[in-house]
Structure 1
């Protein structure tokens, strides 16, 4: 089967930014735009230049900086919007303009308050006006999937006659089913004069959870552009997810003969960057980039994964830059997973030790939702009379108030020598101060790469869970901590990750007859 390349049009900085609370400063847009270029997107829609001076400046700067990526200026079918988009993208090496105008009867009646004839005239005249400035013109009949098809054909035919080169058929409210959406592209191409001379684009919203499926249906029906956002953000339930579409094509594209130019190794970093800068958390069960996307708790799954990853994973997370973190310990976990996790701390157990450890672990796991690394090592210590972790927290305190800098002190015990030492540090926040204290005790350079904090229930007595990823010696290590005091949970998680790094470096293996083994997979646990 011949392979056809699909062009990825990213609208994270325009439609994605319309998510409530996701507004970005211009400099943040520039940071994301540079990462999108590294990711390999073909087209970036950096914003709505007519919306605000800040958006205009961001689009202008991105147009000047991104020389390998097409820049799309977005606007309504209004002269002022077109003028702003033309000026903002003037310095782009490659550019297009994207105009939209409603085509459904409900939009014309209640939003535009115009007749069909008036709407058609606006579409014709504004595309003709835009064509005087830019050759590549994309036109979107908004709410196309709820429009009368005869009128949709008439509008598309009119804008093609005036010079539109790309026709986007948007599922603006996420209403269409995949078969319906694909057939709509086929019918437009077949029934519109000039429809075989233009390119087609798909823009799908996710109100029914069908955005990726609908986009693939459009591609199979002839669309050559797909409009997406990182993490699937956007109005209401969001847009077609870039990472989901890209990996669906990478994993199954051979079945339908398509490919993209997305560099999969940049997916995870792009996802985390957008999440951080837009302050939008990623759902745990989000495909591809969610915390649970490549984690497994069931004992049968864990056993299979430890023997061969392909038993239960159809993608390799490390190819996408996702740290290897496939085993989650809970009441469903089996002995193989427990043994594997303890070996990550340099602990090899005999059969009798493993039996005692597994029995005690099951008792703890039945009593709680999640067993943290700190809990795991405590259980090992209780069942073996051996201190597994190089360092443990004896005590810590934080002085914090509304306006002043935060000060922390932490007392750690070196379990190899039995010595205790106290460290003090200041920070703009209590977490920064506690982390700075702990880093002073470690005999190696450690960088905190990522941190997630979650509440495990909604009550006032809820426990907080912290997941911390650190980098040391070129490898990533992940630790977890759970406590009703969220600072304590963070401290436990950070120290857990550090203990793994120290153990694997050979400088902190516990002197108990257990030998650390070589670490073969980056990412820790």
Structure 2
């Protein structure tokens, strides 16, 4: 009897959750980030991924702005038939005409019209009176309604506008045929309680508000875009406008991945849910970052490099016993490779021993002491100790070569008038050394071609990150190489003052990880299963 009560209670709770539509404007508002433009050919690639991610609406660009944007919107409208496409336009006939033509082949489409509502915009930018703005909104919504049933109206800078005027403008928009009302925090100025109150008040006082849906579009100038979007949901918004990685003008927009995971993680508190496919979050983030050449901050929530990594020995010990001790989300559910333990000077012996075991390396307590002493000395100098360095330390302690392959020597010749030539010497685990040479358009390409001849692992070179870890002539550079091997992503890291050498070592480390990880994976899986069983 008690079981039935619990099941019914859970069903009722789920039924009460409000589904929040995710409106993605990465390719329109996000592209307005300085230095983050996308050519029309790459927009379709992002649109396909957004469709896989499960967004409800895609705003692919601003049709009137350029022939390239028009073509991209047209292409996306024709190909992406499972997602609603929004044509963005000012309250100007030429904008509306361009948006209508660009989206004509979409299976589902809407017009997204906007005009300013704050006095500072009216007086100094568009130089219109409030009465003129209301009339323009009425006329242009009515004009757009001839072509499209679904019209979203945005009262730009709503949070800095007079409340009574916003209500009057919203009533005019609804009366003219708008079906979605967006109240943007265009300058990221509002506080969460102000946003919640704005939505509650407009929904309660504007005539016809019960016939339309409400949307929020929040910027991050004060770092509150996600908090303000959640406040809008509490105030009755059922659509949130977001960008992947939070890109956008100035400090950016509400981050898609942060908002979605806040809703997912705190469903019971918010009584809300989305249809986003969590497993596609990480891939979407990486794609947008690479395509727009817009790096992701290390400490970026959800998708940042450090978001699920831990260096503190206390945290590492807790994680090894139960992941829930220091993690509130499962990174693997979002497609994020599991690499929670970062080895630095705060790490303890348990974490070091655990990392070595992942590569099938077992050390005695006596050998562990030697490894730990070398580890602390290296961590004091470089802050982070890479997997390849740790494996080398273990090899010295056990007088073996745990790594399948070791980069012994590297030479590169570069010049302005010729191709780059590289030669490398690689030692395998039998102790035999062989040399290889290759050419490439750049020194790194030449080096990678050399190494690929030496290592019989058919791995796809997927990504390279280069970071400066300090300043000055003696600065260390960190290289992070990601490869795909046997369907698994493997990442190698190396730190050196020579960035080409660091990249080469990182590539070898990634290949070694792929080879050793494949061999050690069954044992690691058994160990993980045993740990989970004992926890139960």
The TM-score range, normalised by the shorter chain, is: over 0.9
Aligned with 1:420 (options 433, 437, 449)? 433
Relative contact order, higher structure (CA 8 A, sep 6+): 1
The reply to whether residue 501 of structure 1 matches residue 514 of structure 2 is yes
Q: Distance in 2 between matches of 1:269 and 1:404?
A: 37
The reply to whether residue 311 of structure 1 matches residue 316 of structure 2 is no
The reply to whether residue 237 of structure 1 matches residue 251 of structure 2 is yes
Aligned with 2:481 (options 468, 479, 491)? 468
Q: Distance in 2 between matches of 1:490 and 1:80?
A: 51
Q: Deviations over 1:198-246 (max 9, x none)?
A: 1100000001111111111111111111000000000000000000011
Q: How does 1:122-521 map to 2 (within 5 A)?
A: 122-402=136-416, 404-414=418-428, 416-506=429-519, 518-520=523-525
C-alpha contact 1:9 1:44 (8 A) present in aligned 2? yes
Q: Distance in 2 between matches of 1:156 and 1:250?
A: 31
User: Secondary structure in 2 aligned to 1:91?
Assistant: coil
C-alpha contact 1:344 1:500 (8 A) present in aligned 2? no
**Larger CA deviation: 119-128 vs 143-152:** 119-128
C-alpha contact 1:200 1:224 (8 A) present in aligned 2? yes
Q: Distance in 1 between matches of 2:214 and 2:293?
A: 33
TM-score calculated relative to the size of structure 2: 0.93
Q: Distance in 2 between matches of 1:516 and 1:140?
A: 53
Q: Distance in 2 between matches of 1:518 and 1:375?
A: 22
**Larger CA deviation: 484-493 vs 384-393:** 384-393
C-alpha contact 2:363 2:398 (8 A) present in aligned 1? no
Q: Tell me the CA shift for residue 417 of structure 1.
A: 2.0
Q: Tell me the CA shift for residue 403 of structure 1.
A: 5.8
Q: Distance in 2 between matches of 1:83 and 1:350?
A: 74
Q: Distance in 1 between matches of 2:487 and 2:147?
A: 50
User: Secondary structure in 1 aligned to 2:81?
Assistant: coil
RMSD, aligned CA: 1.5
User: Secondary structure in 2 aligned to 1:518?
Assistant: helix
C-alpha contact 1:343 1:516 (8 A) present in aligned 2? no
Q: Tell me the CA shift for residue 384 of structure 1.
A: 3.2
Q: Distance in 2 between matches of 1:424 and 1:344?
A: 32
Q: Distance in 1 between matches of 2:230 and 2:476?
A: 42
Q: Distance in 2 between matches of 1:473 and 1:224?
A: 42
User: Secondary structure in 1 aligned to 2:153?
Assistant: strand
Q: Distance in 2 between matches of 1:122 and 1:58?
A: 28
Residues 518 and 447 of structure 1: CA distance in aligned 2, closer, same or farther (over 3 Å): farther
**Larger CA deviation: 303-312 vs 480-489:** 303-312
Provide structure 2 residue ranges, at least 5 long, that are not aligned to the other structure: 1-12, 527-536
Q: Distance in 2 between matches of 1:85 and 1:473?
A: 44
User: Secondary structure in 2 aligned to 1:243?
Assistant: helix
Q: Distance in 1 between matches of 2:414 and 2:135?
A: 63
Q: Deviations over 1:63-93 (max 9, x none)?
A: 0011000000001111100000000000000
Residues 85 and 404 of structure 1: CA distance in aligned 2, closer, same or farther (over 3 Å): farther
TM-score calculated relative to the size of structure 1: 0.95
Write 1 or 2 for the structure with the bigger share of helix: 2
Q: Deviations over 1:451-504 (max 9, x none)?
A: 211010132321110111222233332211011110111111111111122224
**Larger CA deviation: 131-140 vs 36-45:** 131-140
Q: Distance in 1 between matches of 2:35 and 2:378?
A: 39
Q: Tell me the CA shift for residue 327 of structure 1.
A: 0.7
Q: Distance in 1 between matches of 2:38 and 2:517?
A: 40
Residues 181 and 290 of structure 1: CA distance in aligned 2, closer, same or farther (over 3 Å): same
Q: Tell me the CA shift for residue 409 of structure 1.
A: 1.5
Q: Distance in 2 between matches of 1:337 and 1:476?
A: 22
Match of 1:105 in 2: 119
Q: Tell me the CA shift for residue 426 of structure 1.
A: 2.6
Match of 1:17 in 2: 31
User: Secondary structure in 2 aligned to 1:170?
Assistant: coil
Q: Distance in 1 between matches of 2:362 and 2:279?
A: 33
Q: Distance in 2 between matches of 1:282 and 1:402?
A: 32
C-alpha contact 1:39 1:266 (8 A) present in aligned 2? yes
Q: Distance in 1 between matches of 2:328 and 2:131?
A: 52
Q: Distance in 1 between matches of 2:190 and 2:373?
A: 52
Q: Tell me the CA shift for residue 402 of structure 1.
A: 3.8
Q: Distance in 2 between matches of 1:138 and 1:460?
A: 55
Q: Distance in 2 between matches of 1:267 and 1:403?
A: 43
